[in-house]
Structure 1
Amino acid sequence: MTVLIRPYAPGDFDVICTWFPDEASAVQWGGPDVRYPLDPAQFAAMQQETEGDTPGRWMFTGVAGEAVAAHAQVVLDWRHGIGRLARVAVSPAFRGKGLALPFLRQVVGRVFEQAAMERLELYVYTFNAAAIATYRRLGFVEEGVRRSSVKVGAERWDTAIFALLREESDARALNAGAPSR
């Protein structure tokens, strides 16, 4: 499936907010600091961080045809050269159609286009097998687990920490066309 990325636009909120029908799905997407239901003010605050010469955040929208099909954010630490991939979601209408991998490849590529960025990391809840499989296919390596790190309702969730270094990303890109052995 063909997906193109573009910067998030405020009008995307009307579509993206429908992907999270309850508190658990919103927290799974946005972490424990996101309030449910999602509201335009939360997204506006995130978008404010995208401004300036050295923004603190990038927000991307994945578009398939004319449809808003995916969303991802990258929190940027320019001083240490670290990006944190966050708030990744694929529209329920596009799940299971192979969209996440090409969408995230473009996001990862944008991060490592920046000479200052040496590391891209992410946190993912350990029960999210589909996301973890996608991150592994992109070359991310699991570095550890924060046990019982988030409380959602009566449940406690574990958080896995994954990272991809620039040189690993470059090597993966170079080997992408090489025949398998």
Structure 2
Amino acid sequence: MQPGTRSHSGEPALRRVPVSSAWRIGAINTLDGAATAPGGFIGEYMIHADLSDRQDGWREQLWTRQLTEDRFEVTCLPFFTYGICYLDVVTIDSNHLVASVVQKSGHRTLRIALVADHQDRDQLHELLHGKVVEAALPHEWLQGIYLSVDLPPGTDPAALTEALKAPAQAGALHWEIDS
């Protein structure tokens, strides 16, 4: 999806933001814009999660809202960072890397990775996109093969996870739920 185009739901697509060697495509806007947070701090602030335990030098950038001088609320849906979900509150170190999670929001993240060279990839993309739109769940796609879905507190993901079982058994995708 190119900037300025429309997402599958017909909504205007958001800007592309580089993440390492990939592009992060925002299909939803979960940011509060220019709203003033407690303490007078304003809106959007980008931090990074260190993923070098998986690949040297690898990081995921996370959009946040600064709450206090040293606390940030996550306002995006992480694709690769474990243990951090939408609206969790984190602290950062002097390099703007996540240092700790200080408050869990109760949200969970359903992550799906389509196998890039699988013959059914495009059909699965459309099927899964339709399922999350039908369920009215906030979600983001990365490179058309990674899907991150917000599961707010109390959300039952059974209908979605049921749709994932057969494709996973066929080797067409991998999925997990993180909290």
Shared fold (TM-score greater than 0.5)? Answer: no
TM-score by length of 2: 0.29
Q: Structure 1 length as normaliser, TM-score?
A: 0.29
